[in-house]
Amino acid sequence: MIQLDFKKYLFHFKNEIGTSRGKMRTRTSWFIFLKENDKIGIGEVAPLPGLSIETESEVESELNRLKFLNSNFSSTLPSIIFALETALLDLQNGGKRILFHSPFTNQNVGIPINGLIWMNDFDKMKSEIDSKINIYKCIKIKIGSINFEDEIELIKYIRNKSADVEIRLDANGAFDFNSAKEILNRISKYKIHSIEQPIAKNQIENLKVLCETSPIPIALDEELIGVNDFESKLKLIDFVKPHYLVLKPSLLGGFKSCDEWIEIAEKNNVSWWITSALESNIGLNSIAEWTATLKNNSIHGLGTGELYKNNFTSPLSIKNDKLFFNPNNNWDLTELLK
């Protein structure tokens, strides 16, 4: 019989980071342990306040409920679905943190990732661009947090530094519909790959218009959160007709849910990529291992595990513009398992 336990864990960022939900200095995860005989499968519950549909108190309550069940573990909360799915895969594969075998886990073949420029003041964002522009083939910059003229200057700066680097923008729903149209037109001359979520979610009529008329391809991100059943997913993509989907397994309810998004996207000629969402190395590893099985040559948004002071030592590392899993490097989960 499989038994479930869990533990709450507070992560500390090395530096304060800026997000669409304000500044973050810490972030909370819960870890699910599925135990059978001498094996333990681990999954990370990593909701993001203000973005996930579940609250931290709902997570706590649900985990306490699950703890008293006997093997029949299921939930409707996306972050817990993801954690249960990954913990079970881990357990079934021997509790060694290898959920999927692929060249990524077996042969140290890297996954291409973007270089992310966090929200900050102009000078710090420019400095971060300088540190990444010669390493990454794709630079993703979050916009909508500082003066827009300064953001234009940063985009212009990236393009002047490199004519070939792929520029992805992430607005996190920062703009209203009318200003979004003007902004998209102004920045289109800088050869932008795509922009994520230019307007806030739940404005699908306006979003449809933007997708039809924008000179820059539009990616859906926050719009996907909370859309859980297959028919609702299908209706959203069929109506809005986006150019890209950004898939975050821990916010969208795990791999099976994301597999549905992928199936729908590909039937509608919509491209997609995978992104982590500030998980620790445990959650990031699960997402990366799954991503490596998908045979998608896009540049993915992985590799945020280096942000924490107290992350867990793992086989993961970033070299140049790729995320690697070195099977010769061991996990150190002493702090988590004690």
Q: What is the residue-level pLDDT of the chain in tens, covering all 338 positions?
A: 899 999 999 999 998 877 666 788 999 999 999 999 999 999 999 999 888 999 999 999 999 999 887 777 899 999 999 999 999 999 999 999 999 999 999 988 999 999 999 888 999 999 999 999 999 999 999 998 888 899 999 999 999 999 999 999 999 898 999 999 999 999 999 999 999 999 999 999 999 999 999 999 999 999 999 999 999 999 999 999 999 999 999 999 999 999 999 999 999 999 999 999 999 999 999 999 999 999 898 999 998 778 899 999 999 999 999 999 998 899 999 999 98
| CA 288-23-139 angle, 5° bins | 45
| CA 282-286-287 angle, 5° bins | 115
Q: How far apart are CA 99 and CA 117, in angstroms?
A: 30
- Residues serving a catalytic function are 142, 248
pLDDT of residue 137: 97
Helix ranges (H only) for the chain are 56-67, 78-92, 103-106, 122-132, 148-161, 177-187, 204-213, 230-240, 249-252, 254-267, 281-291, 334-337
Query: What would the CATH number be for the domain defined by 3-92?
Result: 3.30.390.10
Partners of 141 in the beta sheet?
Answer: 117, 169
Other residues' Cβ atoms within 10 Å of the Cβ of residue 115: 22
Going edge to edge, which strands form the sheet with 3-19?
Answer: 3-19, 22-36, 39-45
pLDDT of residue 149: 93
Q: How far apart are CA 99 and CA 287, in angstroms?
A: 10
Residues 221 and 246 sit within 8 Å (Cβ to Cβ):
yes
Do strands 111-112 and 218-220 pair parallel, antiparallel, or not at all (unpaired)?
Answer: unpaired
Residues 212 and 241 sit within 8 Å (Cβ to Cβ):
yes
Sorted by where each begins, the domain ranges of the chain are 3-92, 103-337
Query: What would the CATH number be for the domain defined by 103-337?
Result: 3.20.20.120
Model confidence, pTM: 0.96
pLDDT of residue 245: 98
CA distances to 276, 284, 325 from 280, in Å: 10, 6, 15
Give backbone dihedrals phi and psi of 167, rounded to 5 degrees, phi first.
-105, 120
